[in-house]
Each structure stands twice: as C-alpha cells, then as structure tokens.
Structure 1
Amino acid sequence: MNTTFRNLTFALALLLPTMASAHDTWIQTNSPIVRTGEVVHVDLRLGNHGNHHRDFKLAGLLTLDWTSMEHIGPDGKRSDLKPQLFTSASAEKQGYWTTPVTLTQPGVHQFVQKLDRVMNHGKSIRSIRTAKSYVLASDSLDAPKIDGHTHETPVGLPFEMVLNTCPFSEVAAGQPITVTVLHHGKPIQNAVVSFIPEGETLQGERDPNYEFATNESGQATFVPQIATRHLIAAHHTAIDEKSDEFDFTSYATTIVLPVPNQPVAVLDR
C-alpha cells in the first residue's frame, strides 16, 4: 500500500463518523407497567445527536415519510401505529410524535420503529435507525407477573438490540444489564454500546463508566448506579453496504429502559 493511498484510507476512517452523524430515534412511554385494559402513552422521539450521539436530548420532529411504527402484542400480533401518531407541539418541526395505546392483553408489549432513507452529507448515505421499548400489562399492579422472555427474541430489524436481562423482573439499580447487538440477525463484535442515564453527560471519546464494546457474542454489560430512565444506544457503519444510490450504510438502534430501585415484577412460569 503506497503512502498516498494509506493517507486517504486513514482520512476516510476519520470522516465516516462525521458523515454518518444522523440523529437517532427512540421510543419512550409514560410508564413501564399499566393495568390490563388501560392506556399507555407511546412517544416516538428524535435526538441523541450531540456529544457523539450520547446526549439523550430532543432535536426536533422526526419526518415520518421513511418511518414505520408498530405495536407487537404478547400474542405476537403486529399493529401499525403510524396512522395514529400526532404531534406534541404546535410549532412546526418541534416536539415529538405520540399516541395512546390501550393494552387489552396481559403480558409484555413491544413498540418497534424503523427508519430507512438515503441522505446526502457530502456523500450519499443510507441511514437506518431503529428503536424498541417494552411495557408490561398486568391484571394486578400490586403483584405484577410476567410469563416468558419476549425481550430476548429479535423482531427482525436490520440492526437491533435484544435485552438478555428481563426489563421487569431483573432490572434495578446496582444490578447488571446485558444486551446483544444484532446486525442482520447475527451478533456483531466491537460495536460500542452507550448506556446513557437521563441528564448525565458522558465524557471523552468513550466514557469507560457508560460505554462498552460488544464481545464475540455481540454482548455488552452495564451496571446502573442510580434509578432513572436510561437510553441504550448502539451504532455501526457498514462501509461494504453500498449501491449506485449510496456510498455506505449507517446504522443506529436504541432501547429506552426505566431503571427502578427494585424490580417491578416477578416471573410466573
């Protein structure tokens, strides 16, 4: 490899994160658990753009043209939520999308979003942004129970995280949370996963307290120290995924995970 080519390769490697710096999406609900038959408010938000995609802050209203939004019930049935979404702000391009959803079945409900579009940031980039969130519907709020581990099952997104830790019976401050990052359904190694507590500012290029590279099984683990909502975000740039329309593909995926002081439910198997 000659010096000129090597320098160009190095310059491209530095430039790719900047060119692929589209905003992230996430799904946020007003409560992680509701009584069966009651309403949960589901928000589709856009942001996490500043501080190297680590700020958990809003950045305007998402354009829905390239976006899908689904509700997956405990029985696996999928419902399209996109026609039900309305904006939270009167100002154009401000706020976020939201909709109330009545959870008629007891069990774990999943909310899933995917954005797929080609953008131009000096180069043409295919940007794929996905997001997931979980809500438990229980007949009893005093003694909620869950049956099974649907959070460990992929939903078929091109880039997604699955929770190896149950978001209801195992997640709590001081307890480890493990996720697996999947690229086209297969675990991906060395993807950086950021676990961002709401209101916290991550430091440096990679904050060792909150950011971890996935291992050979595609897994990363974090122990939250405080009870608060966390944004879990992973990114991947696929230089080899290109076509006549775009030069490479930029992926991001998120899960919003409320972390309580104590687990909220018990497993009923």
Structure 2
Amino acid sequence: MNRKLTYLLTSLFALAQLTASAHDIWTQTNVPVVPPGEIVHVDLCLGNHGNHHRDFKLAGLVSLDWVSADHQLPDGTRVDLRDQMTSTAMAEKEGYWTQPLLAEAPGVHCISVQLDRVMQHGKSVRGVRTAKSYVLVSQSIDDAKVVGHAHEKPLGMPFEVVLQTCPFTETAVGQPVTVQVLHQGKPKGDVVVSFIPQGAELRGEFDPEFQFRTDSDGLATFVPKAGNRYLIVAHYTADDEKTDEYEFTSYAATVTLHVPVRGPLATQ
C-alpha cells in the first residue's frame, strides 16, 4: 500500500511539473507611466493554461529557481529582480511573485523573464517561456514624451514577441498593434498570436477577433476595440529540436500591453 501511495504521489508530482511547463509566464506592471522616483509594482505570473492557452488567469506559482528576471534600464543596464520578489499568497504554490520597483531614470524600462527547463513525465519536454512588459518614466504624466523606441529591439531570446508598435506613442483604442514573432532571432511565419483582453473569454478553438497567424515576416496585427490590459502570446512546438535529454521543445512568448482609452502619448 505504501509503495502504491508513493508511486501515486511521485506520478502526481511529475505531472504537476510537466503541467507547469505547459503554462505560460508573463510579467505585468500596475501602471504604464510614472514620474521619476515613483514606485512601480512588477508582477511575475504563471498561468494562461485554460481555454486553449487563452484565459489570462493565474494557475500556481512558478519557482524562481527556474527563471531569470531582469529590469533593463533606458541606458541598457540590467538588474536582477529575483532576490527582492515576494509571494502574494500564504499557500506555498499559490498567488504570484511581486516586487515594488523604484523607477528613477527617465525613459522606457523593460521587464524581461525567461524560463528554460526540461520536464519529465512519460515524454521529456524542454519548455522555453519568455515574457516582457514595459513602463515609461516621464517627468510629466499628462504630457509624457518618449525618447527612443526600446520596444523594437529584440532581447536575443530563443523565442520572443517583439512589439513593432510603440506601447506609449502609438497604442490606443482603434489603433493597430503590430508584433513580430522571432525564433532564434529570425521571423517565424504561420504562428498563432493571441491578443487576450483581461477578463474576456475567447470563443471556439480559434477566435478571429483576437487571434491571427503571422505572415512570412513573422508579423501579426490586431486593432483593440476597448481599453484594457492585454496579454499577447505566441506558441510554437519545435519537433526537430531534440536531444537525448528531451524529445521536443515547446516555446511560448508573451508581452503584456496596456491599451488606453484616450489617445497615445507624444514622441520627442
């Protein structure tokens, strides 16, 4: 009986580990624009597993041992975020990680996270997950201006979604948002990109209002009809990327985007 119970618990644990690899990670901030010296709350979340990876809901707490999490300043300096993150829940595996971040340097700040882990359960799967979000530090909130376009520069991740539309100067209700999907630094065509509004439920197995396939240049475009926080997510399974350690590689990449109701900010 003890052996059976041990085997069951071991199997359930392995299944939970594999399930975690099938989840997505994302990073988000409580506000998109702040003045210098203000606090930004940076969250690291795990989930988006229900409704064909389109629910934008939490599903457990990712282990910080599995991820790298960086704060990239406007001058390109990178700061490790993991040491200061705390859990939002009392239960060990619930909630999400968060950190109050003092945003001082004016300009666009990028929060980037990457997970790369081999999971074991029946099949060995390498799960690669990447995530990005942006916040603007501006002297004036009502008349904020953006210098440069850090969002257009890929971060060199093995699989990533790159914003072609500025999240501050070009993003608003009724304005097109274009992204490019890169795999090993090259545009990846025929990949489904989902633009998921927080709190909304996408329909069927493919919702043409919120989901689009990338073209040969890896580009996909969406026009938001409502102000909200959106999870932009792309998935790709590379059956040919395998070794003796794992049988295939499962990729997912996210960008979290605030879409304001009123017009975008000005450029400088």
Shared fold (TM-score, shorter chain, > 0.5): yes
Aligned residues: 251
* SS of equivalent residue, structure 1 residue 57: coil
User: Which whole-Å CA distance do the structure 1 matches of 2:84 and 2:203 have between them?
Assistant: 38
User: Which whole-Å CA distance do the structure 2 matches of 1:221 and 1:231 have between them?
Assistant: 14
1:65 is aligned to 65
* SS of equivalent residue, structure 2 residue 236: strand
What does 1:148-163 correspond to in 2, within 5 Å? 148-163=148-163
Q: 1:92: how far off?
A: 1.3
Q: 1:205: how far off?
A: 1.4
* SS of equivalent residue, structure 1 residue 51: helix
User: Which whole-Å CA distance do the structure 1 matches of 2:253 and 2:220 have between them?
Assistant: 14
1:113 is aligned to 113
Letter in 1 for 2:255: I
2:258 is aligned to 258
1:127 is aligned to 127
User: Which whole-Å CA distance do the structure 2 matches of 1:37 and 1:186 have between them?
Assistant: 38
Q: Deviations over 1:202-248 (max 9, x none)?
A: 11111111110000110000011111111000000001110110000
User: Which whole-Å CA distance do the structure 1 matches of 2:89 and 2:194 have between them?
Assistant: 29
Letter in 1 for 2:229: R
User: Which whole-Å CA distance do the structure 2 matches of 1:265 and 1:102 have between them?
Assistant: 22
Native 8 Å contact 2:21 2:119 kept in 1: no
Q: TM-score, normalised by structure 1?
A: 0.91
What does 1:137-148 correspond to in 2, within 5 Å? 137-148=137-148
User: Which whole-Å CA distance do the structure 1 matches of 2:21 and 2:83 have between them?
Assistant: 28
Percent sequence identity is: 60
CA RMSD of aligned residues (A): 1.4
Q: Which runs of 5+ in 1 are unaligned?
A: 1-17
Q: TM-score, normalised by structure 2?
A: 0.91
Q: Deviations over 1:30-63 (max 9, x none)?
A: 1001101211010000000001100000001111
Letter in 2 for 1:81: L
2:8 is aligned to none
User: Which whole-Å CA distance do the structure 2 matches of 1:65 and 1:254 have between them?
Assistant: 20
Letter in 2 for 1:87: S
What does 1:12-31 correspond to in 2, within 5 Å? 22-31=22-31
2:192 is aligned to 192
Native 8 Å contact 2:21 2:127 kept in 1: no
Q: Which runs of 5+ in 2 are unaligned?
A: 1-17
Stretch deviating more after TM superposition (179-188 or 21-30): 21-30
* SS of equivalent residue, structure 1 residue 233: strand
Native 8 Å contact 1:144 1:264 kept in 2: no
Q: 1:122: how far off?
A: 2.5
What does 1:228-267 correspond to in 2, within 5 Å? 228-267=228-267
Q: Which runs of 4+ in 1 moved over 3 A?
A: 18-21
Stretch deviating more after TM superposition (254-263 or 20-29): 20-29
Q: 1:121: how far off?
A: 3.9
Q: 1:192: how far off?
A: 0.4
2:100 is aligned to 100
2:164 pairs with 1:164: yes
